[in-house]
Amino acid sequence: MTYTRWFTAFILCLLIIGSSTAQDNAQPLILLIEGRFGSEGDLWEWTGGPTLRQKTHWEHNSEIRLSPLNNEIAYSSTAQNVVKANIDGLSGGRRPNNIWVIDTESDQAYRTADQPDDASFFVEGVPDKGLVRSSPMWSPDGAQIAWTERMYPDEILDSLMVYDRASQTTRLLSPDVSQYADPFYPLEGVWTDKGIIIYSDTYESGKNDLRALIFDPLTGQQKLSVSIALPRTDSRSLLPWMKMPAQYQGETWLAALYMLSETTMQCNLINLETGEIETCPALPIALIKEHAETSLIVTPFPQDKEFPVYGVVRSDGPLLLPSGNDRLFITRFALSPDGQAIAYQGYDMKTRKRDKTVFVWRDGVITEVPETGEPNDVTEFVWGATTWVIEFSALGQ
């Protein structure tokens, strides 16, 4: 299904009854800000005051993931021996990394995935050895964390690992992710109530496909392998503009959106039980599920085919962002836990430049988050646990 002039119809279909809700400001806005070394950096927090507070001091952290309970952050961290080697200009993929978890309130942190005892990186006379890992994946109840990993530098076979927080133990869930592995990076994924989804873009017989592997989180059995042919335009295949688990018909599906042009979208749904593929009856929207009746709603805008841009509405329909002569569409966003505020970075459609500053909209007032402009870029930020839905009926409204 393609979507043109869909936004007006979308607004007319919003039938949620609004109600007031108390603001939940307990969870700070967590930001990943670049350090001196480019894309990696440290975690900072903002609670509405005039300054940020630094939470980590390693400068080599990345890929922050908020727990389902909103109280912890799992993140990737470049291994200490790799940083110590101080080797610039390396190419060929990810370097050995660990996974940490930090409490958003106390800043207490612990490592869930470390390097092997005989790890080595650019030590003269010693072969390189280390583990490279994907981004962390929280279980829906927040009790476990999964990731894919492989041995650096020669291994190209991915294994799926799971860390249990109660027992503080790690187990090999499946060694059978390798046949779809990226030669330079471990495969990424997400943990849902339907299982652990591992994404893979494959190229076979001249066709590009988006492949999803679904693993049972208890047995490690591969429950499903499904692929979806990527749309083609100008004699080339398009990568998904967005892909995410989404609620539809009371179940979790995998949604994949593609930009066919700057004003036309295509959306497909993958059934995670049967592998059947359906056309989306509506575009996915993001909100805070616990406050669905009053949450702000983030919806994709068909404005740029290079990367996602979004708009923000209320449940009763009025467009809030962009507003008036606001030149900035949203490219990155995080909803507050109460759903009443949104943190975002903008994108100037005229100059085709991303705004590095982070802004927060609440009750019609836009506040600039301090210390988030030049010179260091904010590469990620998280706030409340967001849910994507295809139709509001998925939430029982």
Read off the CATH number of the domain in which 191 is found: 2.130.10.10
Say what the pTM is. Answer: 0.89
More confident residue, 79 or 86: 79
d(CA 33, CA 31): 6
- pLDDT beyond 80 at 199: yes
Question: Identity (one letter) of the amino acid at 268?
Answer: N
- Neighbour tally for 61: CB within 10 Å: 26
Q: How far is CA 11 from the centre of its chain?
A: 26
* Backbone dihedral region for residue 173 (phi beyond 0: left; psi -120 to 50: alpha; all else: beta): alpha
3-state secondary structure of 125: coil
- pLDDT beyond 70 at 24: no
pLDDT category at 295 given cuts 50, 70, 90 is very high
Residues 44-64: what's their mean pLDDT? Answer: 95
3-state secondary structure of 240: coil
Residues 165-174: what's their mean pLDDT? Answer: 96
List, for residues 384-393, the tens digit of each pLDDT value. Answer: 999 999 975 4
Residues 131-159: what's their mean pLDDT? Answer: 95
Residues 353-372: what's their mean pLDDT? Answer: 90
3-state secondary structure of 6: helix
State the pLDDT at residue 35. Answer: 84
List, for residues 150-160, the tens digit of each pLDDT value. Answer: 999 988 889 99
Residue ranges making up the domain that contains 94: 2-395
Consecutive H or E run containing 8: helix 6-12
Residues 278-290: what's their mean pLDDT? Answer: 93
Question: Identity (one letter) of the amino acid at 156?
Answer: I
Task: List the single range of 1-5, 263-267, 322-326, 376-380 with lowest mean pLDDT.
Answer: 1-5
End-to-end CA distance of the chain: 25
**By C-alpha distance, which of 206, 256, 191 is closest to 227?**
256
Between the CA of residue 21 and those of 68, 175, 314, what are the distances in Å? 20, 46, 14
d(CA 10, CA 102): 39
State the pLDDT at residue 371. Answer: 86
List, for residues 299-336, the tens digit of each pLDDT value. Answer: 987 776 666 788 899 877 788 888 765 556 788 999 99
pLDDT-above-70 percentage for the chain: 82
State the pLDDT at residue 221. Answer: 95
Helices (H), the chain: 6-12, 80-85
Q: Looking at residue 289, what DSSP letter applies?
A: G
pLDDT category at 254 given cuts 50, 70, 90 is very high
Max Cα separation, the chain?
68
| Total domains present in the chain | 1
d(CA 256, CA 271): 12
More confident residue, 53 or 15: 53
